[in-house]
Amino acid sequence: MAMLKKGARILAIDDSSFTKGDKDALVAGVIGREGVVEGVISFHVSVDGTDSTGKIIRSVKKSKFAR
């Protein structure tokens, strides 16, 4: 089992359910450290689009957790 550096933050991301006709899907991310949830970020991405990686990066950079 790999060990993390003490104090390392973890970002877990998942998208919401959507139907075939939906244009957007909600994405939520939970940020935590040492077993404590420090915050949540959320944003929408295009279903079957190519914008999710860029939106994840922008959302994290805009959050208070960027540093």
Amino acid at site 8: A
Q: Say what the pTM is.
A: 0.76
| pLDDT surpassing 80 at residue 67 | no
Rounded-to-integer distance, Cα 3 and Cα 50, Å: 33
The whole-number pLDDT of residue 31 equals: 93
Q: What pLDDT band is residue 1 in, cutting at 50, 70 and 90?
A: low
Q: Per-residue DSSP letters for 9-65? A: EEEEEEEPP--TT-SEEEEEEEEEETTEEEEEEEEEEETT-S-HHHHHHHHHHHSTT
The whole-number pLDDT of residue 28 equals: 95
Q: Per residue in 6-59, pLDDT tens?
A: 888 899 999 998 888 899 999 999 999 888 999 999 999 998 888 889 999 999
